[in-house]
């Protein structure tokens, strides 16, 4: 992990659920699972700083930095974003890049990316 006050960047990955987002289907939220590099705890993420695509705030985070296991069995944080807000910032297409930015509680910048297919 980066020492406090460090300007290094933590790079993680995100899995988007659903992996195919139909802009005309229902549902209130989309779920993003944030996985961080080994040695970086999900409890070190400053939740209010999290933005999807630079503008969409996380609506909820599962119980105070709760972690679970993702496909690779790595610890991750589960975040929910309002579906209507997410659809506005995504372009239609296969393998659309989705990114998340924020900071750790010590101020270290955080960046994570993944892909989603967006259909109409």
Please give the mean pLDDT across all residues of the chain.
84
> What does the pLDDT read at residue 76?
81
> What does the pLDDT read at residue 1?
43
Alpha-carbon distance values, 4 to 7, 13, 89, 106 (Å)? 9, 22, 33, 5
Round to whole Å and give the CA distance between 15 and 5: 29
Q: Does residue 115 or residue 67 have the better pLDDT? A: 115
* pLDDT value at 65 more than 80: no
> What does the pLDDT read at residue 106?
95
* pLDDT value at 111 more than 60: yes
CB of 72 closer than 8 Å to CB of 35? yes
> What does the pLDDT read at residue 18?
86
Report CA Rg, the chain: 14
Span 39-49, average pLDDT: 90
Count of CB atoms situated within 10 Å of the CB of 28? 9
CB of 58 closer than 8 Å to CB of 14? no
CB of 112 closer than 8 Å to CB of 13? yes
* pLDDT value at 71 more than 70: no
């Amino acid at each position: 992990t980066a020492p406090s006050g460090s300007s290094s960047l933590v790079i993680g990955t995100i899995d988007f659920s659903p992996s195919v987002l139909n802009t005309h289907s229902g549902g209130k939220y989309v779920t993003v699972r944030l996985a961080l590099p080994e040695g970086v705890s999900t409890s070190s993420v400053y939740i209010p700083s999290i933005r999807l695509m630079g503008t969409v705030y996380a609506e909820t985070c599962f119980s105070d930095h709760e972690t679970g296991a993702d496909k690779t069995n790595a610890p991750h944080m589960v975040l929910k974003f309002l579906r209507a807000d997410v659809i506005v910032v995504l372009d239609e297409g296969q393998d659309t890049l989705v990114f998340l930015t924020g900071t750790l509680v010590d101020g270290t910048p955080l960046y994570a990316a993944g892909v989603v297919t967006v259909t109409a």
